[in-house]
Structure 1
Amino acid sequence: MSNFNPNVTKYAPLRFITAGSVDDGKSTLIGRLLYDSKALLSDQLLSLDKSKNNGEVIDFSILTDGLQAEREQGITIDVAYRYFSTAKRKFIIADTPGHEQYTRNMVTGASTANAAVVLIDATQLDFKQLPLQLLPQTKRHSAILKHLNCPHILVAVNKMDLLGFEQAKFEAICAAYRTLALQLGLQQDIHFIPVSALQGDNIVHASANTPWYQGEPLLSILEALPSNEHVALDASHFHFPVQLVQRLDSDKQDDFRGYQGRIEAGSVKVGDQVRIEPAGRISTVSKIFSSNGSVATAQAGEQVTIRLSDDIDISRGDTLLAVDSGTQANKKLRATLCWFDERALNPARKYLLKHSTQTVFAKINKVEQVLDVHTLSKVSESHSLNMNDLGEVQLSLQKPICCTRYQDNIATGSFILIDEATYHTVAAGMILDFE
């Protein structure tokens, strides 16, 4: 399932997360990664020296567990971001919580990740039970990574030192995860690495304790992964949600009206025809302004101001598209929801759906199925979603939004649901299709 090529080096920055169950060693792994790659400052090294238990074992988790509550409880609660670089590339790490209660924070970190390091604590598994069963939170996080289309998964089998670096147990865990991947429909590039985060085996340097492992250490694999920025640059995919209408003054001789925002897909140039949704009007791009002043072209990821040749009623939430784009405004969606709120989904009430620069009322008409993370079966009898559930639903919107399927474009295919009474974010959604 892996197509790792150690001879291919990509220099684009890589965003990756650590995921897995409680006490799998995610924070320790990141601390060891930073320590062994010499990416720590002198004050951080001093803190590590003070953290030694009995003068021997370093507590690497203090580098990422910044909240006092995290240190008191010994668990990660919030998403901790760390930045470091090697001679080959730059990295942005998101240390996400393993506890089921904070799954929503894991989704936040995973939503922008190019890769995920899924830790499995080998000591928590019952090797007498056949077939070998992984922990529920490992299954849940893997299911979330599948729905978020995270392109690369690195399965780090941790605490191998406590199992005497037994090859048979490592291979049993790999087989169990391959079965899980098959059941979830994971199509991602998957790597397996036997590690000891505390001792540093196969984190930055190859370990002499695993002569049977012929692969690269974790850092070497991360350095060679492509960043996989799936953003279409073709002009026919041009997608520009309007964030702000800019008016400089009311002088009729210089009636400047510019539409500001970020290009989410495709490219545009002066003279291109565009379609304005949801109105369906057609106009022509007359000028494009970027941070460098007036430009002739712009592409996905750039923040720009666009002027049109016609005065058209356009406001925040409207979208400029390539005139021949197949993208349409839709009022009925099918989507996967990851439910965050302690209160279960209430099909009788409306929620606020925030998509790109637009917020509309939404009603969940039907819960089609809910994933049971214990059995990995999809339950169709459920009519609601509880905290941390993953389910497929049908939604109807108060007014149409210009969106795509999540697999086609992450930025234009994702949304969040907000409780209109409390303004709590209750769910994250990935659009599957349109009705």
Structure 2
Amino acid sequence: MTAGPDLLRIATAGSVDDGKSTLVGRLLFDTKSVLADQIDAVTRASVDKGLDTPDLSLLVDGLRAEREQGITIDVAYRYFATPRRSFVLADTPGHVQYTRNTVSGASTASLVILLVDARTGVVAQTRRHAAVMALLGVPQLVLAVNKIDLVDDAESVFADISATFADLTRTLGWSDEQVQAIPVSALRGDNVATRSELTPFYDGPTLIEHLETVPNVADRAPVGFRFPVQYVIRPRTAEYPDYRGYAGQVAAGRVEVGDDVVVLPSGIRTTVAGIDTADGSLESAHTGRSVTVLLADDIDISRGDVIAAAHDAPEPISNFTATVCWLGDKPLLPGARLLLKHGAFTTPAIVGGVDTLFDEQELSLRDAPDRLELNQIGRISVQTAQPVSADDYLVSRESGSFLLIDPQGGNTLGAGLVGDALAPLHLSELV
């Protein structure tokens, strides 16, 4: 699948046993995105477990440890499609200790399906996940009130849960237009692909109808063109003696032949002379498209440089505040010397301090923790050896994110957001 206007990146989140994996399995099954032999294998495994119907969660919970415990541990990526749109879905864990997996799965999502059990409603973990999604700037939410077939008064239960969740999301900064509540039964398939007779009170779209028609805001980046250069192409052949192209993927915005651009961090301005792909030349390219950009002038450009729209190019930064989700087993301490990777650019970096901790369990901020432990999210200061051509994360998710890497082992230790992404969260109003 190629990233384009018809590709929507989504993720699931919710508490343990809310039915996330079953819902994902139902989506795969109802869109005919699984092979017959997979369904046969799931059916046999379900019979062995004493079930009368196929356990569709087995289509997602692929690890042996997950199947044995009946929970989702890792982030499982699945692909499915309808005639109107293609989807990449990340099924994330519900356990508190797997917050880092939830952050990883939702970080690139344009929409998150947040499940709640109709019998328990909005719980603490629902509020935590919603706060994390707000921190990550997820633009669209679906509240899937699952197991609606297991409650007596489905209409009042759905209304109460929807109202509670709407109050929460409004406080976290979402508008009512960005949130869609749908009563579903993942096990039975009610309101997933087909409308259910059990919910005559609901006149909205099914889950798949909503996924097919929701605006794909990832294609509407709020910033101009951002293009991290991954490779410089110089064939030096008789057919192309002077060819010089810059290959990479459009991280944000859109570019057309003739656009004015600036190369960062040097600040040299030029214009786009051509856009090449393996299938031929293009007149324009959008977010997510892998292309080779040709420029009107010969400029010294190397891997890690950024070609950006001239009218709103970011100012390269060496000292900045960032919000980080810590993924390392050992704590992050002030003074840590790491590698910072932004796009295709990597530079040594020093963590100057850890001044604020985001407690996603209590939905609050705490001052001066002096360290970040595994799965914790906090605000830090960073100093880099070389300038980073990044936007503030609140301006652009695509060009405002980075990774912190162990310089010895090469392991990813942290996922970072440039700027103070915690500032817009009015967490005190939720406690």
TM-score by length of 2: 0.85
CA positional deviation for 1:55: 5.0
Cα–Cα, structure 1 residues 425 and 186, in superposed 2: closer, same or farther, change >3 Å?
Answer: farther
Among 174, 177, 187, the alignment partner of 2:165 is 177
- Give the secondary-structure state (helix, strand or coil) at the position aligned to 1:229: helix
Give per-residue Cα distances to partners, 1:269-290, cap 9 Å, x unaligned.
Answer: 5565543222223445555433
- Give the secondary-structure state (helix, strand or coil) at the position aligned to 2:134: helix
Cα–Cα, structure 1 residues 26 and 400, in superposed 2: closer, same or farther, change >3 Å?
Answer: same
* TM alignment of 1:124-135, pairs within 5 A: 124=120, 134-135=123-124
Cα–Cα, structure 1 residues 418 and 54, in superposed 2: closer, same or farther, change >3 Å?
Answer: same
Name whichever of 31-40 and 407-416 sits farther off.
31-40
CA contact (8 A) 1:147 1:430 kept: no
Among 55, 61, 71, the alignment partner of 2:57 is 61
Name whichever of 205-214 and 390-399 sits farther off.
205-214
* TM alignment of 1:26-175, pairs within 5 A: 26-50=20-44, 51-52=46-47, 53-54=49-50, 56-124=52-120, 134-136=123-125, 138-175=126-163
CA positional deviation for 1:46: 1.4
CA contact (8 A) 1:233 1:267 kept: no
Give per-residue Cα distances to partners, 1:135-193, cap 9 Å, x unaligned.
Answer: 33x23322222122222111112223333344333333333323332443344711222
- Give the secondary-structure state (helix, strand or coil) at the position aligned to 2:39: helix
How far apart, in 1, do the equivalents of 2:15 and 2:407 lie? Answer: 32
How far apart, in 1, do the equivalents of 2:295 and 2:25 lie? Answer: 51
Amino acid at match of 1:109: G
CA contact (8 A) 1:330 1:400 kept: yes
How far apart, in 2, do the equivalents of 1:270 and 1:114 lie? Answer: 28
Q: Tell me the equivalent position of 1:129.
A: none
How far apart, in 2, do the equivalents of 1:224 and 1:267 lie? Answer: 22
How far apart, in 2, do the equivalents of 1:414 and 1:208 lie? Answer: 44
How far apart, in 2, do the equivalents of 1:306 and 1:28 lie? Answer: 43
CA contact (8 A) 1:340 1:388 kept: yes
Q: Tell me the equivalent position of 1:400.
A: 387
TM-score by length of 1: 0.84
CA contact (8 A) 1:356 1:411 kept: no
Give per-residue Cα distances to partners, 1:334-392, cap 9 Å, x unaligned.
Answer: 22222222322211212211101101122222334222223322222423222222223
How far apart, in 2, do the equivalents of 1:371 and 1:399 lie? Answer: 28
- Give the secondary-structure state (helix, strand or coil) at the position aligned to 1:391: strand
CA contact (8 A) 1:333 1:433 kept: no
* TM alignment of 1:22-421, pairs within 5 A: 22-50=16-44, 51-52=46-47, 53-54=49-50, 56-124=52-120, 134-136=123-125, 138-187=126-175, 189-232=178-221, 237-249=224-236, 254=241, 256-268=243-255, 273-293=260-280, 298-308=285-295, 310-421=297-408
CA contact (8 A) 2:314 2:389 kept: yes
Unaligned runs of 5+ in 2: 422-431
Name whichever of 394-403 and 273-282 sits farther off.
273-282
Cα–Cα, structure 1 residues 298 and 389, in superposed 2: closer, same or farther, change >3 Å?
Answer: same
Amino acid at match of 2:65: A
Q: Tell me the equivalent position of 2:424.
A: none
Cα–Cα, structure 1 residues 68 and 341, in superposed 2: closer, same or farther, change >3 Å?
Answer: same
CA positional deviation for 1:92: 2.6
Name whichever of 353-362 and 272-281 sits farther off.
272-281
Cα–Cα, structure 1 residues 270 and 140, in superposed 2: closer, same or farther, change >3 Å?
Answer: same
* TM alignment of 1:412-431, pairs within 5 A: 412-431=399-418
How far apart, in 2, do the equivalents of 1:286 and 1:186 lie? Answer: 40
Cα–Cα, structure 1 residues 168 and 374, in superposed 2: closer, same or farther, change >3 Å?
Answer: farther
How far apart, in 2, do the equivalents of 1:217 and 1:310 lie? Answer: 52
Identity %: 43
Cα–Cα, structure 1 residues 267 and 185, in superposed 2: closer, same or farther, change >3 Å?
Answer: closer
CA contact (8 A) 2:316 2:390 kept: yes
How far apart, in 1, do the equivalents of 2:373 and 2:251 lie? Answer: 32
Name whichever of 14-23 and 105-114 sits farther off.
105-114
Unaligned runs of 5+ in 1: 1-9, 126-132
